[in-house]
Amino acid sequence: MNTFTACPEQARTVRNGTAVDTPNSKTVRGTVVHEVIEMVLNGRLADDELTLESAVEYFHISWDNHKETVVKWLDGPELTRDVGLASLRAWYLEVFPWLNPLRVEQSFEFVLCENESRRISLYGTRDLDEEDLTWDWKTGRHEPPWEMRRNAIQPTVYTLARAHERGDLESDQNFRFCYLANGEVEIIDVVRTPNDWAALVPLCNSIADLIEARLPSWPLRYDGWQCSDWCPNWGACRGKYLGVGAKPANW
Q: Which of 236, 231, 243 is nearest to 21 (CA)?
A: 231
Subset of residues 74 to 133 that bind ligand SF4, contact rule: CB under 6 A:
none
User: Is residue 108 within a helix (H) or strand (E), and if so which, with residue range?
Assistant: strand 103-114
Q: Which stretch binds ligand SF4 (CB under 6 A): 72-80, 127-135, 160-168, 214-222?
A: 214-222
Asked if 5 is part of the footprint of ligand SF4 (rule: CB under 6 A), the reply reads no
119-130 and 133-138 beta bridge pairing: antiparallel
Measured from the CB atom, the residue of 151 and 182 that comes closer to ligand SF4 is 151
Q: Which stretch binds ligand SF4 (CB under 6 A): 70-78, 122-130, 148-156, 217-225?
A: 217-225
Q: Which stretch binds ligand SF4 (CB under 6 A): 122-130, 163-171, 189-197, 220-228?
A: 220-228
Asked if 14 is part of the footprint of ligand SF4 (rule: CB under 6 A), the reply reads no
103-114 and 119-130 beta bridge pairing: antiparallel
- The angle, 0 to 180 degrees and rounded to 10, between the axes of the packed helices 194-213 and 153-166 is 110
Q: How far apart are CA 235 and CA 230, in angstroms?
A: 10
What binding mask, one character per residue, do residues 29-48 give for ligand SF4 by CB under 6 A, x or -?
--------------------
Q: How far is CA 199 from the centre of its chain?
A: 21
Asked if 9 is part of the footprint of ligand SF4 (rule: CB under 6 A), the reply reads yes
- Number of residues forming the site for ligand SF4 (CB under 6 A): 13
Residues 6+ apart with CB under 8 A from 222: 238
What binding mask, one character per residue, do residues 167-206 give for ligand SF4 by CB under 6 A, x or -?
----------------------------------------
Q: How far apart are CA 11 and CA 236, in angstroms?
A: 14
Residue 120's φ and ψ, nearest 5 degrees, are -110, 120
Judge contact between 67 and 28, C-beta under 8 A.
yes
Asked if 71 is part of the footprint of ligand SF4 (rule: CB under 6 A), the reply reads no
Q: How far is the CB of 4 from ligand SF4 (least distance, A)?
A: 11
Asked if 4 is part of the footprint of ligand SF4 (rule: CB under 6 A), the reply reads no
Measured from the CB atom, the residue of 133 and 242 that comes closer to ligand SF4 is 242
Query: Which residues contact ligand SF4 by CB under 6 A?
Result: 7, 9-10, 220-222, 226-227, 231, 233-234, 237-238
